[in-house]
Amino acid sequence: MYTKLEEILKNAMQELNYNYEPKVIKSNVETVDFQCDDAFKLAKEYHKAPFVIAEEIVTKIKEDKNFSNYFKEISVSKPGFINISVSDTLINKSLKELITQDKFGVNKENETIVLDYGGPNVAKPLHVGHLRTAIIGQAINNILKFKGNKTIADVHLGDIGTQMGQVIYGILNDFPNQNYEDIDFDLNYLNVTYPKMSALCKEDEEVRKKCAEITKKLQEGDKNYRILWDKIYKLSVNDIKRIYDYLDVHFDYWYGESDAYKQFPEMMKYLEDNNYVKLDNGAKIIDVKEDDDKIDIPPCIIQKSDGAYLYATSDLGTIWQRKKDFNPDEIIYVVDARQSMYFTQIFRASKKTHIFDGKLVHYGNGTVNGKDNKPFKTRTGGALKLEDLIKEVKKEFINLRPENKNMDEQDLDKIVNSILKFADLQNDLTRNYIFDIKKFSEVNGKTGPYILYTYLRINKLLTGNDGNLSDNIYNDIDRKLRLKLLEVTNVIEQASKERRPHYLASYLYELSVIANNFYQNNHMTGLEGQIKNDYNIVLSFNNLVLKTLLNLLGIHIPKTM
């Protein structure tokens, strides 16, 4: 639709000797379908009033003998907007074409893209802070894959940081004089030990030092500590996987920072041989300042004076490994926006040293906040476990209506997912939002359950069709729904280009409102013949659009609700 209109405008402009690629956008006036604002740009270039240029273009278009095939009305409004209302013929022609196209006719892409949207830390349970990253990252992954790209998701576990030394120290205290192989503990033990040790380290300087020593030895490959590390890893990563699975969040690789350590000898040699590192008080650093920086960008420290490696070293090592193993065109990080300075540093370090010359992008996500508009915390002030949030949402939905208590467990889980994900993905990823369980669980309003309900309701109304859409449009709401459906291709293209899943969420909501309106005003029962067939075609395509876009956002449709 957009392409056709742009083509017509461009031809008219060309005949008038205006050389330009016009852009058609949705109109924000209720009575008009589309608009083109390019007369303003042409005005600057050709030194004429925008209104005059717009009039010339519209007159030219109206001269065409096929005018009425495409347009219901085209006019100029001051000071130079071109208003376009399309003909029913064009709507139906475009819709027929769209229905037959694979993947709504989106342009195919063919890049290799690595995505990093995990980053949980081993020995600690997933908390609410991991939710946005996972949901947004998986949605971007799904969208890029839909466009034909080869995507590779890597979880990038924090598996060798200070928390590992702390937990190992705790274990050695609780199981004294035991062979490391024989020490046995479970997940509950881990879940208690980490917060206990972390608190102790804050109070006790001695303990903190000992834990740091253990961490350092572990990083250097200490075999004995590694035995305990293995046990912690298995328990914790199993649990992390269980929650990600529940959220339908998946990774192709479960590499951790500890895997990046294997790259260090080779990478450090490369960096030193090429004089990319500088010594600064015994520490090894990479300078990343640039001349036009408006703020101070500190150097990237990659090895401390005591020989220890840092968070940045493991990210650089990981880029080194990704380049070697996958040779991607791009690496995308969906990580908390508060790490954006850090990513500026490592991206610059990686570019400057030519560890990786492809694209590196950080999409810094906002936080999920509590009612106080601060990152979600439990009553006692700790980070809320993701599993507890999931349980709370489930409870809220079950209590909404008596019949929800008897719902199929799998359906219930799909709805819980829709609540969490739609709440999240309706916001631009950079923004923080307040998680209002009550509001997000309702079947009315801008919620996951509302979209799911719309789908299921329409599905029940469908009675089959022969696939031949007639040239009729029956009323205003019918026209509105068809026009809305025609937007789907652009919406996906835009979401993919800008990596903004919330475009899909906004569209899903707007489409659902119109589709609800459609069946409330056009009763499907009692219809016969052509109109029944046409409505069935339009509504079943509507549901294909809803389902496809929901799936891209990681939301799946329950059997009933």
> Applying CB under 6 A, which residues contact ligand ARG?
116, 119, 121, 156, 158, 315, 333, 335
CB of 139 to ligand ARG, least distance (A): 17
What are the C-alpha distances in Å from 397 to residues 246, 268, 390, 448? Answer: 17, 53, 11, 12
CB of 255 to ligand ARG, least distance (A): 10
CB of 121 to ligand ARG, least distance (A): 5
CA distance 99 to 427: 29
CA distance 251 to 247: 12
Nearest CA to 61 out of 19, 6, 2 is that of 6
Strand (E) positions, 338-416? Answer: 359-365, 368-369
CB of 156 to ligand ARG, least distance (A): 4
Q: Are 63 and 6 in contact (CB under 8 A)?
A: no
Give the DSSP letter of residue 106.
Answer: P
Strands 81-86 and 112-116: unpaired
What are the C-alpha distances in Å from 391 to residues 218, 258, 394, 422, 475? Answer: 36, 32, 5, 17, 45
Q: Which pair of structure tokens corresponds to residue 20?
A: 């330009």
Nearer to ligand ARG, 309 or 333 (CB): 333
Nearer to ligand ARG, 116 or 248 (CB): 116
Nearer to ligand ARG, 46 or 311 (CB): 311
Q: Are 445 and 379 in contact (CB under 8 A)?
A: no
End-to-end Cα distance, the chain:
36
Nearer to ligand ARG, 24 or 335 (CB): 335
Q: Are 413 and 248 in contact (CB under 8 A)?
A: no
Nearer to ligand ARG, 340 or 494 (CB): 340
Q: Which pair of structure tokens corresponds to residue 410?
A: 């799998």
CB of 257 to ligand ARG, least distance (A): 8
Strands 112-116 and 150-153: parallel
Strands 25-26 and 34-36: antiparallel
Nearer to ligand ARG, 158 or 165 (CB): 158
Beta bridge partners of 35: 25, 83
CB of 39 to ligand ARG, least distance (A): 47
Q: Max CA-CA distance within the chain?
A: 95
CB of 155 to ligand ARG, least distance (A): 9
Nearer to ligand ARG, 321 or 489 (CB): 321
CB of 324 to ligand ARG, least distance (A): 17
Minimal CB distance residue for ligand ARG: 119
Nearer to ligand ARG, 313 or 447 (CB): 313
Nearer to ligand ARG, 315 or 413 (CB): 315
Burial of 524 (0-12, 13-18, 19+ CB in 10 A): middle
CB of 443 to ligand ARG, least distance (A): 36
